[in-house]
Amino acid sequence: MSVHSLSPAFPTAAARMNRIDQRFAELKAAGRTGLIPFVTAGDPRADIESNLAVLRALVDAGADLVELGMPFSDPMADGPAIQRASERALARRVGLTRVLEIVRAFRAGDARTPLVLMGYLNPIEIRGVAGFADEAAAAGVDGLLLVDAPQDDEALLALLQDRRLHLIRLVAPTTGPERMRALARRAGGFLYFVSMAGTTGAARVDAGAIEAQVVALRHMAPVPVAVGFGIKDAESARAVAHCADAVVIGSALVDHLARAADAAEAAQLAAQFIAPIRTALDARQAA
């Protein structure tokens, strides 16, 4: 029986509670800052084992939630690092089918770590949005972040909610106060604050410059606020953790993994990258 056919039995509030909510509730109780690494599916290697090894290594090294990128031929909001990762994955024919296989394999060994798929609309439209949402929910996905999907698309939202999937909304420095309030009010899972106008992997974040906006957003939002773009290492993560519920780190990690020759090395590189960031975040909290 699909998740979809079960959903009418869930009351609205319960239907919206999933692994993402549980994880952020745990983080809040523990007073910890969430750590959200992003990797592109099928990169640095296409086989399920390598992808699984990386995801597990990230979790073991302290990731609280993982974002898995769905490769797309025209990633117009991404900088060179994630563009190249997408190109490498597509060259190995990694598409949505493989993405879902990776999620299923991950979920078989990890029932608790929330997983968000991130990508662009066209592959999902072509596969069929409702069918894809069914498959994603059944595979164990918890949220979708669709860069170029209209964030106020009620039909899309209803369709995801029916399957207990969160639509992760983005707020940018250019987002005006009125729209920010509207996005915050409708938010599910967590809000993703984009730290600068630009593509992924651009300049280093200026934590001081975003603080006022992030604080304002946290006041408005019924869900936690994660900050991404321009976070590259322990130092920038710690600076942002000062005002955010969670930090997202993508391009720098993707670049770091690119040189892996096999699954074991990819896993080792992932752990090596994430561990010091975890330590820095926890040290900040202890201080």
Partner 1 sequence: MRSTVKPLRKTGTEIDFHAYPDAQGRFGDYGGVYVAETLIAPLHELTETYLRLRDDPAFQAELERDLKHYVGRPSPIYHAARLSREVGGARILLKREDLNHTGAHKINNTVGQAMVAKRMGKTRIIAETGAGQHGVASATVAARLGLQCVVYMGETDIARQAINVYRMKLLGAAVVPVSAGSKTLKDALNEALRDWVTNVRDTFYIIGTVAGPHPYPMMVRDFNAVVGREARAQMLDEYGRLPDAITACVGGGSNAIGLFHAFLNDRDVRIVGAEAAGEGIASGHHAASLAAGRPGVLHGNRTYVLCDDDGQITETHSISAGLDYPGVGPEHAFLKDAGRAQYVGVTDAEAMQAFHLLARTEGILAALESAHAVAQAVRLARELPRDGIVLCNLSGRGDKDVHTIAAREGITL
Residues 6+ positions from 274 with CB-CB distance below 8 Å: 35, 37, 57, 58, 61, 62, 63, 253
179 binds partner 1 (CB under 8 A): yes
CA gap 216, 9 in Å, rounded: 36
- Write the interaction track for partner 1 spanning residues 189-208; mark x where CB under 8 A is met and - where it is not: -----x--xxx--x------
Q: Which residues pair with 227 in a beta bridge?
A: 193, 247
248 binds partner 1 (CB under 8 A): no
Q: Is 259 exposed, middle or buried (0-12, 13-18, 19+ CB in 10 A)?
A: exposed
171 binds partner 1 (CB under 8 A): yes
Report the residue from 3, 15, 130, 147 that binds partner 1 according to the rule CB under 8 A. Answer: 147
The CB-of-126 to partner 1 minimum distance in angstroms stands at 4
The CB-of-27 to partner 1 minimum distance in angstroms stands at 24
Q: Tokens representing 239? A: 């600076």
The CB-of-234 to partner 1 minimum distance in angstroms stands at 26
Cβ–Cβ under 8 Å, residues 182 and 152: yes
CA atoms within 13 A on the CB side of 109: 12
Cα distances (Å, whole numbers) of residue 227 to 104, 170, 195, 248, 287: 27, 10, 6, 6, 21
Q: Is 153 a residue of the active site?
A: no
User: Which residue's CB is nearer to partner 1, number 22 or number 122?
Assistant: 122
User: Which residue's CB is nearer to partner 1, number 83 or number 113?
Assistant: 83
- Write the interaction track for partner 1 spanning residues 58-77; mark x where CB under 8 A is met and - where it is not: -------------xxxxxxx
Q: Is 67 a residue of the active site?
A: yes
Q: Tokens representing 195? A: 């730290």
- The residue behind tokens 């992030």 is 214
Residues 108-137 that bind partner 1 (CB under 8 A): 120-127
**Which stretches of the chain bind partner 1, using CB under 8 A?**
71-79, 83, 87, 90, 95-97, 120-127, 147-151, 170-176, 179, 194, 197-199, 202
Catalytic residues, by residue number, are 67, 78
